[in-house]
A = this chain, B = another copy of it.
Amino acid sequence: MPERQQVSTIVNARWVATVDAHNSILENQSIIIDKGRILAILPQTQTEYAAQDTVNLPHHAVMPGLINAHTHAAMSLFRGLADDLPLMTWLNDHIWPAEGRWVNDDFTRDGALLAMAEMIRGGTTCFSDMYFFPNVVAKAVNDVQMRAQLAFPILDFPSSWAQNADEYLRKGLQLHDDFRHHPLINIGFGPHAPYTVSDGPLQKVVAFSAETNMLIQMHVHETAFEVEDATQKSGKRPLHRLHELGLLSPHLQAVHMTQLNDYEIALLAQTGTHVVHCPESNLKLASGFCPVAKLLEAGVNVALGTDGAASNNDLDMFGEMRTAALLAKGVSGNPSAVPASAALRMATINGAKALGIDSVTGSLEVGKSADLIAVQLDDVTCQPFYHLESQLVYSTPSSQVTDSWVAGKRLMKNRELTTIDLPAVLARTQEWKKKIAEADHP
């Protein structure tokens, strides 16, 4: 008998949802992990490998880590600060004053750590962030060892991070240089929205993006008001303006997209523009309904995001998958729209495609990074269990996620975080809460 090959980790899983091209579901498999990558996926009876760390998961499904394709991580410190309000009251009387007063290096680091703790515990291994002080978030992500795209903000107006569009761009491009070779972090452009960034900076974004292959994430057509207002003022719907500026391409991740006509859906498909759907935020702010079923049918890649915790109010991608699958049926009037397998793809491989990292992550396939989670399915909420994808999407609370690995590094071990000091994060959250609550007097 030949000597067994030494590897870092073997995960023995009762079920595996690979989310590969065929949505293959496997049973009783060993996932062999070495040097941060998936070396093999094979029946548990095979014995050609020996591992430093063998993890037995007899009641668990293993699946790709979820990809939260749009959030504002640090805003978790504003979770539930102001709810059930008209959008402009929420922004003018609560969120913007709070941001103006509190957002700095410390706030952003503490908020990002709180968000990452919640995300890892809920099965997310990769997220896209859009917030001030992305340099601070990058450092925190590096410490925690999650995977992330940080879309640095670009606005026409000043913030505590930069004074004008040029300064946002300069700082962001510097950040991109600093993290150019980081294995887990990509820096992208985050022009906030059509109504907050003028043509000049957007033209620069298009030019830099073409030159560097950096990706772009932007809020687009979030509300009917945004579209009507722009159309009245300029005679153009925002998406058409972006198209004229050359923004619609596989480099663009257009977030929200609740207002889309058939011509625009075809345009998105034709240009390879990605859509990031945030169903719970869209519901909570009464923004409108993204036509997800139509987009998927047209061949548009639709990823999934929670948006920030100030408008959701959680970063739970299991909940978001479920809401996306349910809402698409209600909105389209078709109970077969966005079946469980499609929702699962939106939360994994579609997110990886949007973020330009689908050769690295988003599915469990040999050669990809070992970005995976384990979900325990013997709880009463998950029983009986007939079909794995349906189970994962429609009746699995994120509290059933027990373990998480990113690039082979175990970030959660039986519900315990290994790279975040959770009590310290919660203690700092308490301190922020006291200060923020005291000052929140609209």
Instruction: Say yes or no: is A352 at the interface (Cβ < 8 Å to chain B).
Output: no
| Chain multiplicity (copies) | 2
Contact with B along A311-347 (1 / 0, CB 8 A): 0111010010001011101101111110110000000
Interface of A is mostly: helix
For the complex, give the distance between the alpha carbons of A253 and B391 in Å: 31
* Nearest B-chain residue to A387, judged by Cβ: B80
Task: Flag if B426 contacts A380 (CB, 8 Å).
Answer: yes
Task: Flag if A384 contacts B79 (CB, 8 Å).
Answer: yes
For the complex, give the distance between the alpha carbons of A90 and B383 in Å: 20
Task: Flag if B394 contacts A312 (CB, 8 Å).
Answer: yes
7 nearest A-B pairs in the assembled complex, by CB-CB distance: A84-B339, A384-B433, A399-B399, A283-B326, A313-B394, A283-B330, A313-B395
Contact with B along A349-376 (1 / 0, CB 8 A): 0000000000000000000000000000
Instruction: Say yes or no: is A210 at the interface (Cβ < 8 Å to chain B).
Output: no
Contact with B along A141-174 (1 / 0, CB 8 A): 0000000000000000000000000000000000
Task: Flag if A391 contacts B80 (CB, 8 Å).
Answer: yes
Q: How far is the CB of A418 from chain B (nearest CB, A)?
A: 15
Q: How far is the CB of A271 from chain B (nearest CB, A)?
A: 28
Instruction: Say yes or no: is A114 at the interface (Cβ < 8 Å to chain B).
Output: yes
Which of chain B's residues have a CB closer than 8 A to the CB of A387?
80, 83
Are A394 and B80 also in contact (CB < 8 A) when A380-B426, A429-B384, A433-B385 are?
A: yes
Task: Flag if A336 contacts B85 (CB, 8 Å).
Answer: yes
Which of chain B's residues have a CB closer than 8 A to the CB of A437?
386
Among B286, B329, B399, the residue within 8 A (CB) of A332 is B286
Which of chain B's residues have a CB closer than 8 A to the CB of A313?
390, 394-395
Task: Flag if B289 contacts A83 (CB, 8 Å).
Answer: no
For the complex, give the distance between the alpha carbons of A337 and B440 in Å: 22
Instruction: Say yes or no: is A179 at the interface (Cβ < 8 Å to chain B).
Output: no
Are A395 and B79 also in contact (CB < 8 A) when A280-B326, A314-B381, A381-B316 are?
A: yes
Which of chain B's residues have a CB closer than 8 A to the CB of A335?
84-87, 90, 284-286
For the complex, give the distance between the alpha carbons of A330 and B122 in Å: 25
